[in-house]
Amino acid sequence: MASDLSSIIKSEIVSTLESLLSVSGSIEDCISIDSGEFSDGQCVKVETSFEFSGNNTAWNFYIPTETGAKFEYLMLGGISDLKDTIDDEITDAVKEIISTISGSITTSTNAQGFDDISGMKSNLGDSKVIQCSDDSSVANLYKFTVMLNDESLILFMSFDDTTLPFIELLSSNTTAPSSVSNDPIDLPAPAQNSVLANLLGDDSAENLRLLFDIKLRLSVRLGTKVCLLKDVISWDIGEIIELSQMISEPLDILVNGIVIGSGEAVIVDGKFGVKIKHLGEPKLI
């Protein structure tokens, strides 16, 4: 049986929207539909392709006007008016979101070490504004109902036949089994306190809570380099310094100068951010 990407696709759609739009999100429903069930009106069609294990697959995203307008509105921090037609700014916002979703799906999938999905790569193709109903012959179409801050929005995805064996659970009401999960685990208060209590004792754990509001400096390290003093004093404006970090490597996350994990760079509300991929001691490969 083929490995299933369903839970990864759903998870990365939600986590990307939460990161880029600064909202809380969830997927309320995902169903397989016929292209004739496309809503009327315009949408932004973004073509993407994924390569893995010798397969070349085509995935298309369809973002209706209302959803695209909301995406742009939230990316701008809610300081503009919601638009009722798709323009270049909405198209650009949609492209950025789809590009990030595709990259996150690739990163998460490769981290799983699936035997039949290896070396996944994503490529962003053309994007254009179309009438949703114009793509009446599209096959393998899925409708996602996404909740963003208690507001329901719709987006569509289509997949070629090569992808179908890997998304068998996409329209299931249950979450596909996967070692990847971005969902928080809700624990009752006693259970949340038990870890500290077991380590420190009830009194010490309660005293430690008095320190929880202490401010710590979070920083992200792009890379390092050992330089000679003679090189440093010869630098001038415009000098390019090559760092040791490869562009594909995760970034170090530091708290008060101590490395506590690693992550990848993202854009959050027009600013740089970091998406945590690992916490704790560095993994040995």
Specify the higher pLDDT residue, 98 or 190. Answer: 98
In contact, 41 and 65? CB cutoff 8 Å = yes
Structure tokens that stand for 1 in this block: 């049986």
Q: Which CATH number fits domain 6-166: 3.20.20.70, 3.40.1550.10, 3.50.50.60, 3.30.300.30?
A: 3.40.1550.10
Instruction: Please give the average per-residue pLDDT across 226-246, as a whole number.
Output: 87
Instruction: Please give the average per-residue pLDDT across 135-164, as a whole number.
Output: 91
Instruction: Please give the average per-residue pLDDT across 119-123, as a whole number.
Output: 92
Query: Torsion over CA of 184, 190, 192 and 194, rounded to 10 degrees?
Result: -150
pLDDT score recorded for residue 57: 94
The Cα 216–Cα 72 span in angstroms is 32
pLDDT digits (tens, 9 = 90+) for 268-281: 767 788 888 888 76
Q: What DSSP element (H or E) covers 162?
A: none
Choose among 208, 178, 22: nearest CA to 97: 22
Strands (E), 39-197: 42-52, 55-64, 121-131, 141-148, 151-159
In contact, 3 and 116? CB cutoff 8 Å = yes
Contacts of the segment 138-142: beta carbons below 8 A, 24+ positions apart: 138/35, 138/60, 139/35, 140/32, 140/164, 141/32, 141/33, 141/34, 141/35, 141/38, 142/30, 142/31, 142/32, 142/33, 142/170, 142/171
Instruction: Please give the average per-residue pLDDT across 256-265, as a whole number.
Output: 85
Instruction: With cut-offs at 50, 70 and 90, classify the pLDDT of residue 173.
Output: low
Residue 201 has pLDDT above 70, yes or no: no
Q: What are phi and psi of 62, to 5 degrees?
A: -125, 115
- pLDDT above 70 covers a percentage of the chain that reads 84
pLDDT digits (tens, 9 = 90+) for 20-54: 888 889 999 999 998 777 767 899 999 999 999 98
C-alpha 209: how far from its chain's center?
A: 32
User: Which CATH number applies to 215-285?
Assistant: 2.30.330.10
Residue 91 has pLDDT above 80, yes or no: yes
Extents of the domains making up the chain: 6-166, 215-285
Q: What DSSP element (H or E) covers 90?
A: helix 88-112
